[in-house]
Chain A
Amino acid sequence: MGPFVPELISDQLNLVVALVLGIGFGVALEQAGFSSSRRLAGVFYGYDFTVLRVFFTAAVTAMSGVLLLGYFGFLDTGAIFVNPTWLMPAIVGGAIMGVGFVLGGYCPGTSVCAAAIGKIDAMFFVGGGLLGVLTFGEAYPVCRGFYESTSLGPIKVFDSLGISQGMFAFLLIAVAVGAFSLTTMIEKRVNRKSAPSLGFTARKHMIAALGVVALGIILLFLPDRKVHLIDKVSDPAYLSAHPAKLMSVDELAFRIVDHEPRIQLIDIRPPVAYNRFSLPGSTNIPVVDFFGKDWVTMFSRRHVKKVILAESETQEHAALLLLQELGYENLAILQGGLDGFSATILNPPAVIPTSTRWDKDVIRFRQSARTEILEAIEKGKQGGSKEIKKEKKIQGGC
């Protein structure tokens, strides 16, 4: 599952990856015609909308790809860098850049590209950019307050607008296709002849537009993977059709006391409940964390039986089916849930009717298990807070 930084790709190798991807970026920008300031500036005067076409097509392509890869579980969308929002600085910074675009005819990426093929004006633009950063760096103490203002964190645009992710993706595609046809008409008027040749016929463009709109409709109805899978495994009919392997409370107690290395207890309760009380050796992984990359290694150990713990058996069952949907094996749930475990082992009723010899043995076992497990819990509490391993967060942005 992507992304492959930092697990599979080291920081050193990542720099090589950066160079290779940068070459791709440079080829794409240059081939698009972004190495020409007159072409770039054309978007503001209506004689050449190349910028708008390339930019929107690229944004729609990458966005759709991220959504589809995330839906099919190839990309951990929780691990990728989402540019955090500082609202006012983004607006003011964007406005300053907008003026810079019209006056300079480039943006930083395109200026580097144009300078690389010999455009002297682009070299001046890059030089100006260096001076601009220096100016900002020197003035930073003065504008720091504003720079750090209105910090909203890594918020998503569809949440800001109060619509679903799929709806936003669809609307963006609809706006893009609409803008493509509108700007083509504007271009024809401004240039008083047919627009710059695009190399393909209008008919081919129509077919491509239909394909893109179809993609938008798919994205509109593409449910969020998490929501979709959680809904699926929460359906009582689905639960009864897919029984789970049960582990009895006595077996679990025995294995805990025995320090059995081939079981892994996975406690799916909220962290608050887990911190109040948990079984020795258990790890707290709420269901929402099943989807990320953080626990893949633990879930993937095939020879270790993963026993899921929650208050009730139904919650455990749903979590087990979810892990199965995500492709993990060797799973079991605790019969009767943690409530059952407490009622039978940890806090048994004072008087238990006994009739046979077998019953007496069971009671003796449960009593000794109770003592040992309570001791282990106590010891765990004294050991301080449980350590939760967090993966290194990916850094990004300019």
Chain B
Amino acid sequence: MNTKYMNPYLAGFFLGMVLLATIFITGRGLGASGAIKNIVVATVDGVVPSHAENSPFYSMYVGPGKDAPLKSWLVFEVAGVVIGAFLSGLVSDRLKIVTEAGPRVGIRLRWAFAAVGGALFGIGAQFARGCTSGAALSGMAVLSTAGFVTMLAIFGTGYAVAYVARKLWL
């Protein structure tokens, strides 16, 4: 079994072709955080429908005349990502239940920081109307100003705070 990763440029070319095919066929780009948002919206709408109806945020996505939040393009696309990643992991023998952490970080601390990082992405992606995939990568492919601004903001801030967080990874 070949467990080595693909050459990054080749993988990037492959990823770029998938993105290009997406734009060519559907006229829109790839995304990820939008699916997470739709899951939250669907959950809130399912548990406390009155709250979803009255909230200015959730009511943008649910209500009469709107498709169910789970019946959205990005939810299906991310379902595909799960399948694709699983198949790729299967073929390259990388399926393993494991926690990956820096050499000086315990498992629980890693879980906590992963959750905090995810939460920050959840919030930031709302402001930026997308994450690294939907705003930065897809935006750059169609030469949107927002795509480049978001990409620079993500990586610029990442480098700015990397030193403070070095014990997590080095």
The yes or no verdict on A and B being binding partners is: yes
A107 touches B127 (CB 8 A): no
Is A30 among interface residues, defined by CB-CB distance under 8 A?
A: yes
- Interchain CB contact under 8 A, A140 and B56: yes
Nearest chain A CB to B138 CB, angstrom units: 7
Size band of the interface chain A makes with B: 35 or more
Q: Does A236 contact B (CB under 8 A)?
A: no
Bound complex: CA A57 to CA B43 (Å):
37
Q: Is A221 an interface residue, CB under 8 A from the partner? A: no
Give Cα distance in the complex from A14 to B132, angstroms: 23
Whether B81 and A398, one on each chain, are in contact in the complex, defined by CB atoms closer than 8 angstroms, is: no
A58 touches B19 (CB 8 A): yes
B63 at the interface (CB under 8 A from A): no
CB atoms of A398 and B92 under 8 A apart: no
Chain A residues with CB under 8 Å of B55's CB are 137-138, 140-141
Separation of A62 and B144 alpha carbons in the complex (Å):
13
A214 at the interface (CB under 8 A from B): no
Contacts of B127-146 to chain A: CB distance below 8 A: 127-146
Which residues of chain B come closer than 8 Å to A14, judged between CB atoms? 26, 73
Measured between beta carbons, the chain A residues less than 8 angstroms from B92 are 30-31
Q: A81-B142, A103-B165, A128-B115 are known contacts. Are A121 and B100 too (CB-CB below 8 A)?
A: yes
Highest count of chain B CB atoms <10 Å: which of A25, A99, A157 = A25
Chain A 245-263 near chain B by CB (<8 Å), digits 1 or 0:
0000000000000000000
A232 CA / B50 CA spacing, docked (Å) = 60
Chain B CB within 8 A of A120 CB: yes
* A56 CB–B CB distance under 8 Å: yes
- Which residue of B71, B127, B136 has the most chain A CB atoms within 10 A of its CB atom? B127
B-to-A contact residues, CB < 8 Å = 4-9, 11-34, 36-37, 39-41, 43-44, 55-58, 71, 73-74, 76-89, 92, 94-102, 110-162, 165-166, 168-170
A115 to B95 Cα, complex, angstroms? 10
Q: Give which listed residue, A38, A89, A93, contacts B102 with CB less than 8 A.
A: A38
A133 at the interface (CB under 8 A from B): yes
The answer to whether B114 touches A155, judged by C-beta atoms less than 8 angstroms apart, is no
A93 near B126: Cβ-Cβ < 8 Å: yes
Give A36's nearest chain B residue, CB to CB. Answer: B100
Interface residues of chain A, those whose CB is within 8 Å of chain B, are 2-5, 9, 14-33, 35-38, 41-45, 50, 53-63, 65-66, 69, 74-75, 79-87, 89-122, 124-138, 140-141, 143-144, 146-147, 152, 154-160, 165, 168-169, 180, 197-200, 205, 208, 394-398
A92–B125 alpha-carbon span in the complex (Å): 10
**Contact, CB under 8 Å: A83 / B146:** yes
| Chain A residues whose C-beta falls within 8 Å of the C-beta of B165 in the assembled complex | 102-103
Q: Is the interface of B mostly helix, strand, loop or mixed?
A: helix
- Give Cα A147 to B128, complex, Å: 9
Q: Which residues of A contact B43 (CB under 8 A)?
A: 130
Q: Give min CB distance, A257 to chain B, whole Å.
A: 43
Taken together as a complex, chains A and B put the C-alpha atoms of A30 and B20 apart, in Å, by 18
From A96, A103, A199, A394, contact of B28 by CB (8 A): A394
Can you report 25 residue pairs joining A to B where beta carbons are below 8 Å apart? A21-B21, A31-B14, A35-B85, A38-B102, A45-B166, A62-B140, A83-B144, A94-B124, A94-B135, A97-B128, A100-B121, A106-B121, A108-B32, A108-B132, A116-B82, A116-B89, A121-B110, A130-B43, A132-B120, A157-B144, A157-B147, A160-B145, A200-B7, A397-B129, A398-B31
* Set of chain B residues within 8 Å of A63, measured between Cβ atoms: 140-143
A108 with B131: CB separation less than 8 A: yes
| CB-based contact A25/B15 at 8 Å | yes
Which residues of A have CB within 8 Å of B168?
41, 102-103, 105
A26 and B82 contacting across the interface, CB-CB below 8 Å: yes
**Residue contact B36 to A130, C-beta cutoff 8 Å:** yes
Residue from the set A85, A394, A398 with the largest chain B CB neighbour count within 10 Å: A398
Q: Would you list the 8 A-B pairs with minimal beta carbon distance, nearest first?
A: A104-B117, A132-B122, A22-B80, A94-B153, A26-B84, A61-B16, A57-B12, A128-B118
A226 vs B39: C-alpha distance in the bound complex, in angstroms?
Answer: 42
Residue among A3, A112, A133 having the largest count of chain B Cβ atoms under 10 Å: A133
Report whether A96 and B13 are in contact in the complex, using a CB–CB cutoff of 8 Å: no
List the A residue with the shortest CB-CB distance to B17.
A61
Q: Are B5 and A132 in contact (CB under 8 A)?
A: no
Cβ distance A293 to chain B, nearest Cβ, rounded Å: 10
Residue among B21, B36, B116, B120 having the largest count of chain A Cβ atoms under 10 Å:
B120
Question: How far apart sit A366 and B24, CA to CA, in the bound complex (Å)?
Answer: 51
Give me 4 other A-B pairs in contact (C-beta within 8 A), A22-B76, A109-B132 excluded: A3-B26, A56-B12, A80-B27, A105-B100
